[in-house]
Structure 1
């Protein structure tokens, strides 16, 4: 692992000028933190030929069901000034955005440059997401969501929901770590992923080209070693298995939360949303049963509540 990371960093150093901040920051900022890879038994249900047809047939039902599920909090409990410091493709940042969007909490976004991180120089915490709520900084996606949820739903303490806690931990400890080997599976998919990252990120024209090609090369090698480290022999199979594990957890319910999404639904949806229209996400929907739930979640979460400047 260390040897491959060294090669990745060497590629970045050669591509970036000496005046550019250390390239290691790019790899650290895009690769999720590592934890144990948990093996789940594959679902015994047969794989669908395609979920496109099933999604189309259930679309009207999904809309009517999900539309009833959304219950915006009382305006008196909403924070007044919310700013999210993020990387556009960061799964943990997207968890926070899914929560904010679902609860119609307006927020501004500050895109952090993963090379310089100049946008968060003011903070002792040097990772994203950072969310400032009425001037107070909150860090760590799960902690941010718990504190906001307890604030806007004081009658529904987060820690009481044991099932939700279990699956939120699964998202952080397993699901996010299946993503990198999939979106950087080969050079083509690595370039596709970095095209998405650089088109949304805070990059100059030169940085965009450098980050796209050097970053894609670096992460391609890193993803190969993640597969070895966590005994992933087939990254697509691992992604499909994770999707089916989540569908099994739903146990026939529209959402894990029942008639409306809970924090676990929002966490799974949030980390999957950035990859949905990449090749890995398209393959996941076409080859598993997760598509109908995902469609319901898209409708339930609704439009982004981001304040566009």
Structure 2
């Protein structure tokens, strides 16, 4: 069993070092709450002067209603997903990741949106035994038919070039993808580790959902939370952050201003910048920082549209259920 001192050093240097924020990541976290949305606004049901069920038999009305609902759902799903042509679909895709890592979530958002089936290998951030075969010691790592791809933005660029070879990125899209990597990710850690209670909230999820042994979980939760609480103060200074929440709200508002009234930065459908912002924000959604951001900015509606567009995960499980 690792001592708390050793675990703290390993966690702070291997799992959570700020150096991981340049394309491979320090894990920001999410407390997953099934089915919840950023904005749960009830939709009123209009009254009809002549209910549908009165003008035709109940069985017929039910069948028609079901057909209309099915058609609506199918149309929305067809609009939402951007599936590659079968001959361009990447094969044997495996993602080596930390569940709570924002950069890994960027890659997952891309895979899910394009409905690319992939398996996941959860990496133990202390031993990293799952990626000992690679010279690259950060995550995400993606293998496609045995070919190793590294760095979240490079992975997405390569996959995008393969599945959409004729689609060119534009200057606006490229600008905001850089903004995600160079600015947005840097305001996350100071927010989710802002106080000792928020640091413990984050590491409770990391400990429960990461690939740790029983004995490592205790050390990771408490030593990791203590380590990152201290590291977050250094990150504030490094990135000239004076007020953590203000920096998070400013980033959210900056993104909404960039949309300029559009559903997505890509217009009627998400582009790579939309997917990048969505991916790095997803891990903090159910933490206090994410809740505060939604309550104090207008990003919730866009995020909800992204949830619909990205849809269900295209992750496939192996024989062991991983």
Pick from 132, 137, 155 the counterpart of residue 143 of structure 2.
132
CA distance in 1, matches of 2:4, 2:269: 51
Residue 75 of structure 1 and its aligned partner are, at CA, apart by 1.4
Helix, strand or coil: the match of 1:33?
Answer: helix
**Map of 1:261 onto structure 2:** 270
**Map of 2:90 onto structure 1:** 79
Is 1:247 aligned to residue 233 of structure 2?
A: no
Cα 1:32/1:300, change in 2 over 3 Å: farther
CA distance in 2, matches of 1:35, 1:195: 21
Helix, strand or coil: the match of 1:84?
Answer: strand
Q: Within 5 A, what are the aligned runs for 1:1-309?
A: 16-17=2-3, 23-24=9-10, 26-33=12-19, 55-56=41-42, 68-157=79-168, 160-308=169-317, 309=322
* Contact 2:193–2:228 (8 Å) recurs in 1: yes
Q: Deviations over 1:250-273 (max 9, x none)?
A: 000000000000000000000000
Structure 1: runs of 5 or more not aligned? 1-14, 37-50
Cα 1:18/1:224, change in 2 over 3 Å: closer
CA distance in 2, matches of 1:130, 1:118: 13
Cα 1:223/1:54, change in 2 over 3 Å: same
CA distance in 1, matches of 2:219, 2:259: 42
TM-score w.r.t. the length of structure 1 is: 0.83
Q: What is the aligned length?
A: 276
TM-score w.r.t. the length of structure 2 is: 0.80
Residue 57 of structure 1 and its aligned partner are, at CA, apart by 5.1
* Contact 2:106–2:279 (8 Å) recurs in 1: yes
Helix, strand or coil: the match of 1:246?
Answer: helix
* Contact 2:21–2:185 (8 Å) recurs in 1: no
CA distance in 2, matches of 1:35, 1:263: 19
Helix, strand or coil: the match of 1:110?
Answer: strand
* Contact 2:103–2:152 (8 Å) recurs in 1: yes
**Map of 1:11 onto structure 2:** none
* Contact 1:23–1:115 (8 Å) recurs in 2: no
* Contact 1:66–1:296 (8 Å) recurs in 2: no
Residue 27 of structure 1 and its aligned partner are, at CA, apart by 3.7
Residue 212 of structure 1 and its aligned partner are, at CA, apart by 0.4
Helix, strand or coil: the match of 2:142?
Answer: strand
Structure 2: runs of 5 or more not aligned? 23-36, 45-71
Larger radius of gyration: 2
Cα 1:237/1:18, change in 2 over 3 Å: closer
Q: Deviations over 1:159-180 (max 9, x none)?
A: x311110000000000000000
CA distance in 2, matches of 1:69, 1:166: 24
* Contact 1:26–1:115 (8 Å) recurs in 2: no
CA RMSD of aligned residues (A): 2.6
Residue 295 of structure 1 and its aligned partner are, at CA, apart by 0.1
* Contact 1:95–1:271 (8 Å) recurs in 2: yes
* Contact 2:7–2:220 (8 Å) recurs in 1: no
Helix, strand or coil: the match of 2:149?
Answer: strand
